[in-house]
Structure 1
């Protein structure tokens, strides 16, 4: 239960750090060798803190003013890999909102749980039967 709570807290931390622009605290959220896949947004795979920080700053005022992480589901593969699937809601300054799915691989490091791999998948169309 302690690990699950720590992973949930980790997921929540993402929104706070990104919204506050606290890029110097990336090591609290991501592993040093993080792979942040934003290919669906045309940005490819970002590797490491510096690449994530640079891309976030480049987006500038087009960034959401609020990143909200919800529906956090934690699972463990037979080989011990811990996966987290969650929903992200981005609220923009003009009132628009967007939705994504985060598919993460997390691992426990000396400083606690960290996101090692994140894939961001935009939700652009509603479910159609």
Structure 2
């Protein structure tokens, strides 16, 4: 499978939509971002992976005021896989209400379905040390 320029643009916009939906509290629209059976892997934060859109929504609501006020995604790199799937790697910057920040790497599997491109798997890796240190 060769990704067209249109596919690359659609996938980049999909990944960018994450911050807009979460920051705007539009959690009822997460099906525009994720497949129904998405696995949202937050084990790097000591949590169990979340399975399904409802679980992702509930986790965001449970965080409440601890959610970042701004999610920013940069440095999107796409790699074609097979069977209508694409691997996406991007950087995330979170801005908290108190002005502190955090950085993560998103490792996504993007799947093309009947409704277009959606994230079917996301692993969130915390960046805690420079130069790839742990």
2:97 aligned residue: 93
Give 1:77 deviation, angstroms.
2.4
1:107 aligned residue: 111
Give 1:62 deviation, angstroms.
0.9
SS in structure 2 of the partner of residue 95 of structure 1: coil
Unaligned runs of 5+ in 1: none
Give 1:80 deviation, angstroms.
5.4
Aligned length: 129
Q: 1 CA distance for matches of 2:110 and 2:38?
A: 10
Q: 1 CA distance for matches of 2:16 and 2:49?
A: 22
Q: 2 CA distance for matches of 1:43 and 1:53?
A: 15
SS in structure 1 of the partner of residue 130 of structure 2: coil
Q: How does 1:8-27 map to 2 (within 5 A)?
A: 8-27=12-31
Pairing partner for 1:123 from 120, 127, 134: 127
Is 1:42 the equivalent of 2:50? no
Unaligned runs of 5+ in 2: none
- 1:78-129 Cα offsets, whole Å, 9 max, x none, are 6653100000000001110000000000011111100000000000111279
CA shift in 2, pair 1:91/1:76, >3 Å: same
1:28 aligned residue: 32
TM-score (norm 1): 0.95
TM-score (norm 2): 0.91
Is 1:71 the equivalent of 2:75? yes
* Aligned-pair Cα RMSD in Å: 1.4
